[in-house]
């Protein structure tokens, strides 16, 4: 806004180089040029006003008002009829040029002071002196108006633009400078032109520390035999061009954007606070998950160690099943021999019963071992990783959401960085963007590790343990059948012992029983082989699970560290956003909705005052007018008192 105001004020400098400008006409347009002579102190001692009535409608008569004295036509023979302040010109379709004297005070007063080597001196005493000279032109706005702004009465001044300039001889003046103006040196002479805006500082209510609108011009130089040509001052109440009034509409749109900016900043603060809270929760859950993973890893290691005992028992079971198969084969062969050697059956029947007893004892020992194996295997729970996989997938989704939120935050921060002008705010924004990028990279690393863990858990095969349990159950049933068969064998041998006469008839049955026993022993042997194969797979799986759980625990440790960094970064981001909103956005919004809005209101009122100041003398109703002032200050010469005189030629210029 400051740059725009300075730009509009600078346009006054260009306006100051113009001696004439036009406005729309109604019946006719009255253009006034007020010429005033000032003495060396800036006091006005003569004012002559030139009026130009622009007869655009080529009227025969033009009716005008004027309080000038000694009115006369300066560019034609059109006749004038005057009645007090009323003037009637017989224009005959022509423009009218007339002038007269005025005793009215000018709206802009001038005060001139002189300094030689830092000491104030009068104009008369300064003539012909040498040294460091400074000429200070101070202008006072005397056209004040009391207006109401937001229910409060304020004093505003008609916004006059003042441009002053003179020409200095380079042979006697060097190192020429001017405040708020321009120095133009052609090698032999130097033109200086300065700009000031008297009364505008108070009218806008803006501190000079924020934006200085000068009411004085200082010309300084190194002088030898000091002389000063006449200083010409051009004054116009044209502060803002009509075509620039769209500035106020643009300000209204800016106020709407300010409200949007304020609301958006609040959303950013809320989002940063939510991110901080979410990151804190994420950190807490990551720590809890880390503790569970340690317990899980420890449990897997214990299960792996315990299963070594089970695997050793299964080896013993396989060896026993081999012996069982061999014994059953022997029984079958023996039964077949009984069938062919009934004669020696009675003598060997006692031995048979003794062998059966030993067999039953072995079967019991085998059953006890098998029960122990089944008990140990059943203690190993078949792991179900579905819940753990679901938790890890939620963690991946949370990482993705957090990353997207950080990317969106960076996009907003980059936009703010492009629009920021304050270097401290830029540095803060850049630091926040870099912190977000680090968090995004960390989230990517954690997501990859978590996905790897999910894949590993999904690939873990739990069918081996189920096959082992099924095989053990089949083995247990086969052994039960074997025990039952052995008992039958024993009962049969007892019957043989007591009734050898019926032995012959039962021989075939005994043979069939021994055959079934052998076939059952084959099944037991096959079951133990399957059990051993499954046990090896189970052992390898437990080893893999043990190693993987340790790797997962280590990765989760890194995840906890990342969650801690994320929580810390989110807290810093939330604190930074709160500070940025409070000290940055809210300050800007307060200024735009407060100071700037007040300035724009004052500018609109000043524009109204500038448009209302359309004449210096008098103006007929229904006519348009505009006015400009040219003040010529007496020159300072080394010789006797010498004043410039006003010479008005046909072009109405000095």
- Alpha-carbon Rg for the chain, nearest whole angstrom, is 56
Environment class of 376 (CB within 10 Å of its CB; exposed 0-12, middle 13-18, buried 19+): middle
| Residues 487-502: tens digit of each pLDDT | 776 777 677 666 666 6
What is the DSSP code (8-state) at residue 342?
G
Predicted local confidence at residue 338, as pLDDT: 57
Backbone angles phi, psi at 150, to 5 degrees: 55, 40
Any bridge partners for residue 155, and if so which? 146
Biggest CA-to-CA distance, the chain: 179
The residue-averaged pLDDT of 420-443 equals 84
540, 323 Cβ separation under 8 angstroms: no
Q: Give the Cα-Cα-Cα angle 226, 228, 229 (nearest 5 degrees).
A: 150
Task: Give the whole-angstrom CA distance, residue 210 versus residue 193.
Answer: 24
Give the separation between CA 459 and CA 438, rounded to whole angstroms. Answer: 32
Task: Pinpoint the alpha helices (H) of 341-461.
Answer: 345-379, 386-419, 423-459
> What is the band of 9 on the pLDDT scale with cuts at 50, 70, 90?
very low
Q: If pLDDT is split at 50, 70 and 90, which confidence band does 13 have?
A: very low
Residue 485 buriedness (CB in 10 A; 0-12 / 13-18 / 19+): buried
Supply the pLDDT for residue 650.
36
The proportion of the chain whose per-residue pLDDT surpasses 90, expressed as a percent, equals: 32
Q: Tell me the pLDDT band of 22, cut-offs 50, 70 and 90.
A: very low
- Angle, helix 597-612 to helix 246-340, in steps of 10 degrees: 150
d(CA 388, CA 236): 83
| Residue, of 470 and 321, whose pLDDT is higher | 470
Cα distances from 633 to residues 31, 40, 141, 643, in angstroms, run: 23, 6, 18, 9
Give counts: helices (H), strands (E), the chain.
Answer: 11, 19
**Spatial distance between the Cα atoms of 494 and 504, rounded to a whole number of angstroms:** 14
What CATH architecture does domain 254-383+460-599 belong to?
A: Orthogonal Bundle (1.10)
Cα angle 530, 532, 538 (rounded to 5 degrees) comes to 100
* HSE-CB for 306 with a 13 A CA cutoff: 14
Which residues, at least 6 apart from 367, have a Cβ–Cβ distance to it below 8 Å? 476, 479, 480, 483
Whole-number pLDDT of residue 81: 94
Q: Which of 382-391, 448-457, 541-550, 566-575 has the highest mean pLDDT?
A: 448-457
Is this prediction's pTM over 0.85? no
CB 275 within 8 A of CB 573: yes
Q: How far is CA 481 from CA 201, 363, 370, 580, in A?
A: 114, 11, 14, 83
Q: Which two tokens stand for residue 103?
A: 């005793």
- Secondary structure of residue 632 in the 3-state scheme: strand
Distance CA 176, CA 169 (A): 10
Give the three-class secondary structure for 225.
coil
Segment of 260-264, 432-436, 470-474 carrying the highest mean pLDDT: 432-436
Q: Residue 324: is its pLDDT beyond 70?
A: no
Cβ atoms 42, 65 nearer than 8 A = no
Q: pLDDT by residue (tens digit) across 144-186?
A: 999 988 888 999 999 999 999 999 999 999 999 999 999 999 9
pLDDT tens per residue across span 112-139: 999 999 999 999 999 999 999 999 999 9
Q: Is 218 helix (H, G, I), strand (E, B) or coil?
A: strand
Out of 20-29, 147-156, 376-385, the most confident range is 147-156
- Asked whether residue 283 carries a pLDDT value surpassing 60, the answer given is yes
Spatial CB neighbours of 495, under 8 Å, sequence gap ≥ 6: 502, 506
> Mean pLDDT across the stretch 498-507?
62
CA distance 495 to 509: 13
Which among 33, 16, 37, 39 has a CA at the least distance from the CA of 181? 16
Cα angle: 473, vertex 476, 480; to 5 degrees? 140
Distance CA 484, CA 498 (A): 21
Domain boundaries of the chain, sorted by first residue: 1-237+613-654, 254-383+460-599
Distance CA 47, CA 65 (A): 18
Q: What is the rounded (10 degree) CA torsion for 552, 554, 556, 560?
A: 180
């Amino acid at each position: 806004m400051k740059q725009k105001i300075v730009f509009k004020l600078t346009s006054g400098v260009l306006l100051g180089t113009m001696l004439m400008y036009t406005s729309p006409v109604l019946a006719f347009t009255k253009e006034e040029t007020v010429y005033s002579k000032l003495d060396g102190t800036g006091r006005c001692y003569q004012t002559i006003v030139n009026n130009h009535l622009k007869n655009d409608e080529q009227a025969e008569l033009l009716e005008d008002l004027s309080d000038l004295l000694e009115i006369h036509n300066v560019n034609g023979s059109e006749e004038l009829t005057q009645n007090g302040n009323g003037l009637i010109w017989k224009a005959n379709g022509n423009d009218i040029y007339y002038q007269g004297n005025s005793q009215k005070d000018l709206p802009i007063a001038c005060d001139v002071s002189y300094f030689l080597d830092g000491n104030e001196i009068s104009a008369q005493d300064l003539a012909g002196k040498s040294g460091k000279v400074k000429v200070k032109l101070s202008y006072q706005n005397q056209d004040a108006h009391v207006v109401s702004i937001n229910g409060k009465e304020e004093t505003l001044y008609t916004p006059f633009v003042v441009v002053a300039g003179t020409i200095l001889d380079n042979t006697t003046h060097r190192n020429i400078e001017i405040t708020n103006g321009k120095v133009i040196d052609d090698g032999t002479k130097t033109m200086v032109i300065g700009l000031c805006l008297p009364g505008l500082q108070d009218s806008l209510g803006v501190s000079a520390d924020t934006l200085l609108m000068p009411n004085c011009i200082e010309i300084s130089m190194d002088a030898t035999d000091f002389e000063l040509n006449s200083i010409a001052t051009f004054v116009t109440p044209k502060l803002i061009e009509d075509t620039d009034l769209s500035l106020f509409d643009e300000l209204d749109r800016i106020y709407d954007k300010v409200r949007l900016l304020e609301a958006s900043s609040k959303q950013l603060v809320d989002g940063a606070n939510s991110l901080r809270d979410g990151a804190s929760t994420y950190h807490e859950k990551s720590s809890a998950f880390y503790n569970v993973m340690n317990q899980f890893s420890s449990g897997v290691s214990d299960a792996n160690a315990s299963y070594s005992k089970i695997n050793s028992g299964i080896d013993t079971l396989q060896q026993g099943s081999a012996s069982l198969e061999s014994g059953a084969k022997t029984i079958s062969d023996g039964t077949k021999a009984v069938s062919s050697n009934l004669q020696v059956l009675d003598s060997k029947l006692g031995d048979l019963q003794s062998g059966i007893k030993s067999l039953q004892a072995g079967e019991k020992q085998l059953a006890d071992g098998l029960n122990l194996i089944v008990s140990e295997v059943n203690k190993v729970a078949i792991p179900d990783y579905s819940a753990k996989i679901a938790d890890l997938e939620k963690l991946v989704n949370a990482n993705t959401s957090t990353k997207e939120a950080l990317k969106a935050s960076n996009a907003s921060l980059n936009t703010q960085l492009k629009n920021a002008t304050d270097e401290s705010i830029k540095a803060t924004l850049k630091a926040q963007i870099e912190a977000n990028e680090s968090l995004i990279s960390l989230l990517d690393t954690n997501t990859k590790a978590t996905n790897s863990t999910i894949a590993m858990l999904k690939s873990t095969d739990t069918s081996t343990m189920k096959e082992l349990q099924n095989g053990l159950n089949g083995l247990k049933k086969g052994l039960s059948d074997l025990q039952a068969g052995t008992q039958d064998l024993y009962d049969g041998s007892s019957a043989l012992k007591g009734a050898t006469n019926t032995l012959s008839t039962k021989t075939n049955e005994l043979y069939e029983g021994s055959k079934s026993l052998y076939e059952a022993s084959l099944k037991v042997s096959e079951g133990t082989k399957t059990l051993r194969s499954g046990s090896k797979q189970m052992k390898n799986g437990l080893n893999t699970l043990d190693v993987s759980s340790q790797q997962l625990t280590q990765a989760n440790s890194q995840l906890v560290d990342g969650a801690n960094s994320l929580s810390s970064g989110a807290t810093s981001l939330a604190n930074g956003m709160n500070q940025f909103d409070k000290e940055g956005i809210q300050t800007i919004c307060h200024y735009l909705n407060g100071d700037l809005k007040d300035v724009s209101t004052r500018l609109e009122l000043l524009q109204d005052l500038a448009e209302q100041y359309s004449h210096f003398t008098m103006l007929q109703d229904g006519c348009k007018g505009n006015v400009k002032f040219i003040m010529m200050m007496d020159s300072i010469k080394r010789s006797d008192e010498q004043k410039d005189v006003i010479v008005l030629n046909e072009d109405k210029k000095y």
